[in-house]
Amino acid sequence: MPKGQAQTTWLPELKVILENRWNSKMSIKQHFDLVDDLNKALSQIRTDLNIQPPMMWCPNCQKRHRSKFTDISITAMYYALKRFELCDKDEFNKLQRDWKKYSTSENIDIYGKKNDRQENYNKKGLKKSTTAQR
């Protein structure tokens, strides 16, 4: 395997799936179905080609270990659509806006999982100020 291949996510096979399946009229739930299919295909490709996760240095134990593979997120798919010119800038911006509204209303993260933090806390776990909010 060429150097750097372990970190590659958008392999040519995934680009083909994205090109064949993408439709701008899909709902966000259908976007997640497509992301799930892309992740299954990516996992299968990694297994078939025996691609190992990249090595990382652990500052705690002072040893090198295999890191974990990352999955494709919904936002990663949106950026891939833009990168592969499957959507224009306006459509990309609309996808981002719609996603932000949807994720806030459904309280989910970029992988479609429910956020476990309460709405009145920010990402760092600090209580949000009720004053000076926009």
Whether the predicted pLDDT of 1 surpasses 60: no
Number of helices (H) and strands (E) in the chain: give both, helices first. Answer: 4, 2
Q: In angstroms, what is the C-alpha Rg of the chain?
A: 18
4, 48, 64, 76 from 69: Cα distances, Å = 13, 15, 16, 14
| pLDDT for position 116 | 78
Please say whether the beta carbons of 103 and 109 come within 8 A. Answer: yes
103: Cβ contacts below 8 Å, ≥ 6 apart: 109, 110
List pLDDT tens digits, range 11-69.
899 999 999 999 999 999 999 999 999 999 999 999 998 988 888 999 999 999 998 88
* pTM for the structure as a whole: 0.77
Confidence band (pLDDT; 50, 70, 90) for 94? very high
List pLDDT tens digits, range 97-134.
999 999 999 999 999 999 875 554 555 555 555 444 44
Domain ranges of the chain: 15-106
**Cα gap 34→27, rounded to integer Å:** 11
CA dihedral over 85, 91, 95, 97, signed as positive or negative: positive
**To the nearest whole percent, how much of the chain has pLDDT over 70?**
81
| pLDDT for position 53 | 87
